[in-house]
């Protein structure tokens, strides 16, 4: 079986939280699929499903790792706090 590769660029940005979570979960639960998701808005529960997270600021990668490695980082928490303002 061939692996499916999906590139998402702000796919869920205009959706409400409930629909965003449903769509992202459907994509992340697809078998044999690699997903690259470019986003500003994120659900911390879904971040756990990604193998790696890259945080980019001003065009440079400032942090990379799995969610369990980054979940307490100041940079990720900064984006989490910004997301809470828009929730």
Residue 64 has pLDDT above 90, yes or no: yes
pLDDT band at 83 (very low <50, low <70, confident <90, very high): low
Residue 82 has pLDDT above 60, yes or no: yes
Instruction: Encode pLDDT of 22-63 as tens digits.
Output: 999 999 999 999 999 998 878 778 888 999 999 898 999 999
Query: Mind giving me the DSSP string for the chain?
Result: -PPEEEEEESTTTTS-HHHHHHHHHHHHT-TTEEEEEE-SS--HHHHTTSS-EEEEETTEEEEEE-HHHHTT-HHHHHHHHHHHHH-
pLDDT band at 81 (very low <50, low <70, confident <90, very high): low
């Amino acid at each position: 079986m061939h692996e499916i590769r999906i590139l998402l660029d702000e796919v869920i940005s205009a959706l409400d939280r409930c629909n965003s979570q449903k769509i992202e979960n459907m994509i992340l639960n697809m078998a044999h699929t690699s997903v690259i998701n470019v986003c500003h808005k994120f659900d911390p529960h879904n971040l756990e499903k990604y193998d790696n997270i890259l945080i980019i600021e001003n065009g440079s990668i400032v942090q990379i790792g799995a969610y369990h490695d980054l979940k307490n980082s100041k940079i990720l928490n900064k984006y989490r706090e910004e997301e809470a303002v828009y929730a």
